[in-house]
């Protein structure tokens, strides 16, 4: 009996985190999502000595860290990660199968939209919208739940990192065009930039002109400044209707790609991130009030250490170049079966077949796919070439196949998917930066810390997925999870 009572009491503590008042839904004034592009989970500790008080340390000391949060699908790319966090589902359902993919046979970026025009720019950087995203986001559901009174804003240097998290029906999404230079949007959202965006761009012209924000610590600071301007400009968190602000820091990804995971350049970017986070928390405390906002920090993907660093320490790594492999396949299939350019496109690890040429040749499709796999797998750096039309037919661990299938949408993905041996990646030995895209721990283990409104201090080691983030926030807010969500709410213990 005593044991039962204790169990009941414990369950109540967990459940109460979600429902403090059983009848009336209580919500925070503001939900803030902070995504740090290419932040590995272990950076929380790699850089621990560099963190000052008030930034990451405040999150770790006062927040709730889900220490084993993994990306539930491959490929682990930016557009997929930003979509998954805010839709609670994977590319198989949300349709964002990569930063680039083929749509009706044409190569596009995830947010490319030639039917819209830029606002605040005359370049094609403004031709972007969330139309390729197939499902609703957390922000869309918040808008639905509040009769569209909630204000939802997305801010990032990268277009996809602002657009996909903000969803289909936000108040606004703003990304950076270095040619302007300034934050811009598209006429999908509005006809004219709001005054506060115009003023922000004007005020920061000098910094924007003097620095390459993509590769400089000023890029981190400018993104947080823009987020603060959005809070003021859109009056986020100023009334009883919950608002949502989705921020993404893109500079961390650019510097990682250029200089790699263990570089002084990346160190300095993370130092800046920590300083700017501390300032941002101060601003939130002042503008919205401590305890009135619910914040989470996470990443769209991690990063694989560079070959030169790894091999220098006798650790397994060996990059593999896509084009020579594709050329060898196309030459061999032409010679054996008379099919020209059988691999039409390669985007990341996804290979698209030339279905027209295949059909016209009358060659046996299954034989061709098996032959391609055999040719590519001759290379010791490649583990498997998965036939996405029959993924479960080979002796490949389910753990991997499930993730590949969750990342695959037949109308947009290639028919073949390449899996390098763990530690290897698409690239060259001479390449200096770090990269991502694989299923491995390096790319799929991301930080996830909740902080603020109704979040207890603590951590959990039980694994959970990136798909669980949106359902967790939705449950706390007592709103519907995004329509395609497959994740489960995380219970704080």
Q: Which is nearer to Zn ion, 35 or 342 (CB)?
A: 35
- Any bridge partners for residue 66, and if so which? 460
Based on the residue annotation, tell me whether 123 is a catalytic residue of this protein: no
Residue in 17, 69, 76, 78 annotated catalytic: 78
Residue 125 Cβ, how far from Zn ion at the closest point, in Å?
A: 18
Name residues contacting Zn ion, limited to 2-31 (CB under 5 A).
none
* CA–CA separation, 173 and 234 (whole Å): 12
Closest-CA residue to 78 (of 97, 56, 65, 106): 97
Spatial neighbors of 122 by CB under 8 A, at least 6 apart, are none
Contact call for residue 253 and Zn ion (CB under 5 A): yes
Name residues contacting Zn ion, limited to 165-224 (CB under 5 A).
none
The contact pattern for Zn ion, residues 385-424, with x = CB under 5 A and - = no contact, is: ----------------------------------------
Query: Is residue 152 within 8 Å of 167, Cβ to Cβ?
Result: yes
| Structural tokens at position 176 | 């950076």
Could you tell me which stretch among 195-203, 208-216, 246-254, 344-352 binds Zn ion (CB under 5 A)? 246-254
Element (H or E) spanning 244, and its range?
A: strand 243-249
Q: Which is nearer to Zn ion, 37 or 276 (CB)?
A: 37
Residue 70 Cβ, how far from Zn ion at the closest point, in Å?
A: 16
Element (H or E) spanning 331, and its range?
A: helix 322-337
Q: Which is nearer to Zn ion, 299 or 405 (CB)?
A: 299
* CA–CA separation, 469 and 485 (whole Å): 10
Contact call for residue 140 and Zn ion (CB under 5 A): no
Q: Which is nearer to Zn ion, 85 or 229 (CB)?
A: 85
Contact call for residue 443 and Zn ion (CB under 5 A): no
Contact call for residue 300 and Zn ion (CB under 5 A): yes
Element (H or E) spanning 336, and its range?
A: helix 322-337
Could you tell me which stretch among 75-83, 219-227, 310-318, 438-446 binds Zn ion (CB under 5 A)? 75-83
Contact call for residue 276 and Zn ion (CB under 5 A): no
Contact call for residue 78 and Zn ion (CB under 5 A): yes
Contact call for residue 159 and Zn ion (CB under 5 A): no
Could you tell me which stretch among 45-53, 162-170, 298-306, 416-424 binds Zn ion (CB under 5 A)? 298-306
Could you tell me which stretch among 65-73, 265-273, 299-307, 479-487 binds Zn ion (CB under 5 A)? 299-307
Query: Is residue 125 within 8 Å of 159, Cβ to Cβ?
Result: yes
Q: Which is nearer to Zn ion, 140 or 300 (CB)?
A: 300
* CA–CA separation, 265 and 287 (whole Å): 33
- Rounded to 10 deg, the angle between the 138-145 and 78-87 helix axes is 30
Coil, strand, or helix at residue 342? Answer: coil
- How far is the CA of 346 from the CAs of 275, 337, 380, 444, in angstroms? 40, 21, 20, 22
Contact call for residue 442 and Zn ion (CB under 5 A): no
- Per the document, the length of the chain is 493
CA dihedral over 394, 437, 303, 323, signed as positive or negative: positive
Residue 81 Cβ, how far from Zn ion at the closest point, in Å?
A: 6
Q: Which is nearer to Zn ion, 161 or 193 (CB)?
A: 161
Binding site for Zn ion (CB under 5 A): 37, 78, 253, 300
- Active-site positions read 78
């Amino acid at each position: 009996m005593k044991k039962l009572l204790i169990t009941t009491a414990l369950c109540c503590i967990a459940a109460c985190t979600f429902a403090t008042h059983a009848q009336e839904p209580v919500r925070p004034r503001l939900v803030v999502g902070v995504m740090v592009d290419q932040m590995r989970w272990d950076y929380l500790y790699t850089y621990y000595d560099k963190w000052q008080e008030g930034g990451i340390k405040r999150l770790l000391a006062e927040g709730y860290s889900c220490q084993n949060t993994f990306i539930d699908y491959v490929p682990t790319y930016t557009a997929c990660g930003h979509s998954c966090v805010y839709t609670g589902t994977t590319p198989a359902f949300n349709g964002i199968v990569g930063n680039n993919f083929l749509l009706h046979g044409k190569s596009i970026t995830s947010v490319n939209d030639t039917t819209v025009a830029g606002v605040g720019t005359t370049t094609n950087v403004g031709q972007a919208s969330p139309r390729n995203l197939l499902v609703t986001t957390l922000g869309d559901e918040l808008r639905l739940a509040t009769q569209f009174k909630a204000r939802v804003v997305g801010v990032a240097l990268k277009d996809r990192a602002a657009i996909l998290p903000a969803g289909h029906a936000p108040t606004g999404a703003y990304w950076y065009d270095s040619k302007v230079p300034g934050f811009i949007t598209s006429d999908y959202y509005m006809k004219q930039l709001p005054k506060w965006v115009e003023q922000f761009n004007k005020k920061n012209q000098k910094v924007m002109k003097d620095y390459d924000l993509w590769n400089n610590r000023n890029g981190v600071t400018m993104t947080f400044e823009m987020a603060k301007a959005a809070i003021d400009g859109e009056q986020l968190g100023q009334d009883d209707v919950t608002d949502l602000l989705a921020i993404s820091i893109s500079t961390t990804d650019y510097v990682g790609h250029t200089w790699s995971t263990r570089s002084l350049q990346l160190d300095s970017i993370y130092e800046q991130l920590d300083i700017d986070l501390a300032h941002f928390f101060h601003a939130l405390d002042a503008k919205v009030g401590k305890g009135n906002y619910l914040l989470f920090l996470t990443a769209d993907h991690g990063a694989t250490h560079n070959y030169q660093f790894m091999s220098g320490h006798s650790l397994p790594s060996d990059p593999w170049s896509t084009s020579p492999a594709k050329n060898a396949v196309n030459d061999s299939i032409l010679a054996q079966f008379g099919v020209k350019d059988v691999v039409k496109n390669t985007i990341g690890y996804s290979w698209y077949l030339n279905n027209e040429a295949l059909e016209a040749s009358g060659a046996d499709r299954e034989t061709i796919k098996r032959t391609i796999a055999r040719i590519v797998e001759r290379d010791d750096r490649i583990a498997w070439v998965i036939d996405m039309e029959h993924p479960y037919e080979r002796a490949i661990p389910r753990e991997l196949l499930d993730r590949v299938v969750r990342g695959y949408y037949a109308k947009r993905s290639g028919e073949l998917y390449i899996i390098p041996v763990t530690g290897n990646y698409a690239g060259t030995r001479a390449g200096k930066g770090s990269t991502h895209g694989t299923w491995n721990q390096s790319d799929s283990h991301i930080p996830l810390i909740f902080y603020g409104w109704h979040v207890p201090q603590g951590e959990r080691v039980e694994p959970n997925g990136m798909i669980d983030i949106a359902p967790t926030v939705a449950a706390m807010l007592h709103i519907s999870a995004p329509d395609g969500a497959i994740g489960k709410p995380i219970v704080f213990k």
